[in-house]
Amino acid sequence: MMMFNGPPLGAAKSLLVALVLLSLAATTHARAAMAIQEVNSSSGMKAWLVEDYAVPIVTIRFAFRGGSAQELPGEEGLVNLMSGLFNEGAGDLDSNAFQQRLDDVGAEMQFNAGRDAVYGYMRVLADRKDEAFELLRLAIEQPRFDQASLDRIRAQIVSGIMAGAKDPQTAAEVAWMKAIYGDHPYSRRQEGTAQTLAAVTTSDLKAFHNRLFARGNVIIAVTGAIDARALKRDLDRIFGGLPAHPFLMPVAETTPKLGQQVRVHDDLPQDRLRLAYPGISYKDPQFFAAYLMNHILGGGAFTSRLWNEVREKRGLAYGIESSLEISDHASALVIDTSTRPDCAAETLSLIRAEVRRMVDEDVTEEELAAAKKNIIGGYTIGNLNSSSAVADTLVELQLKGLDIDYIDRREQLIQAVTVADVRSAARRLLSAAPALMIVGPPLEGKKALEGKKG
CA distances from 157 to 66, 298, 315 (A): 21, 34, 38
Residue 347 has pLDDT above 80, yes or no: yes
Nearest Cα to Cα of residue 408 among 32, 51, 48: 32
- Interacting residues of 155 by C-beta distance below 8 A, sequence separation 6+: none
In order, the DSSP letters of 8-43 are PP-HHHHHHHHHHHHHHTTHHHHHTT---EEEE-TT
Q: Which residue has the higher pLDDT, 332 or 12?
A: 332
Alpha helices in 220-324 (DSSP H): 228-239, 287-294, 305-306
Tens digit of each residue's pLDDT (9 = 90 or more) over 358-367: 999 999 999 9
Strand segments, DSSP code E, in 302-441 are 320-326, 331-339, 435-440
User: What's the half-sphere exposure (Cβ side, CA atoms, 13 Å) at 254?
Assistant: 19
Lowest mean pLDDT among 32-36, 167-171, 413-417: 32-36
Q: What is the pLDDT of residue 199?
A: 97
**Nearest-angstrom CA–CA distance, 144 and 150:** 10
Element (H, E) at 204: helix 202-212
Q: What is the pLDDT of residue 300?
A: 87
- Report the predicted TM-score, pTM, of the whole model to 2 decimal places: 0.90
